[in-house]
Amino acid sequence: MLNIMIVGGGCANCKKLAEMCQELVKEQGIEAEIEKITDYNRFPELGIYVTPGLLLNDQVVSSGKIPVKSTLSRWIADAARTAERDT
């Protein structure tokens, strides 16, 4: 199962990124757990210093911006394949 972490304090960009991830997972029929990390003390240990941050399967893929939808879609699909292969 794909693990998606949205890291941020709940700002508009963090919410937008979470919505995009939920939409893309649904569109692609991917089984995923989407977790929103809002505890600022955890950000550095996750490797996020600028929000919003995005981790796929515990790997930082984006920080400080919202990726374009096509790029995010590709990242999610690739990470889902990797997660499936590793199980």
Residue listed under structure tokens 């939808």: 69
Which residues, in sequence order, are bridge partners of residue 35? 5
Beta-sheet strands, E only, within the chain? 2-7, 32-37, 53-56, 59-63
Which residue type does 42 have? R
Residues designated catalytic: 11, 14
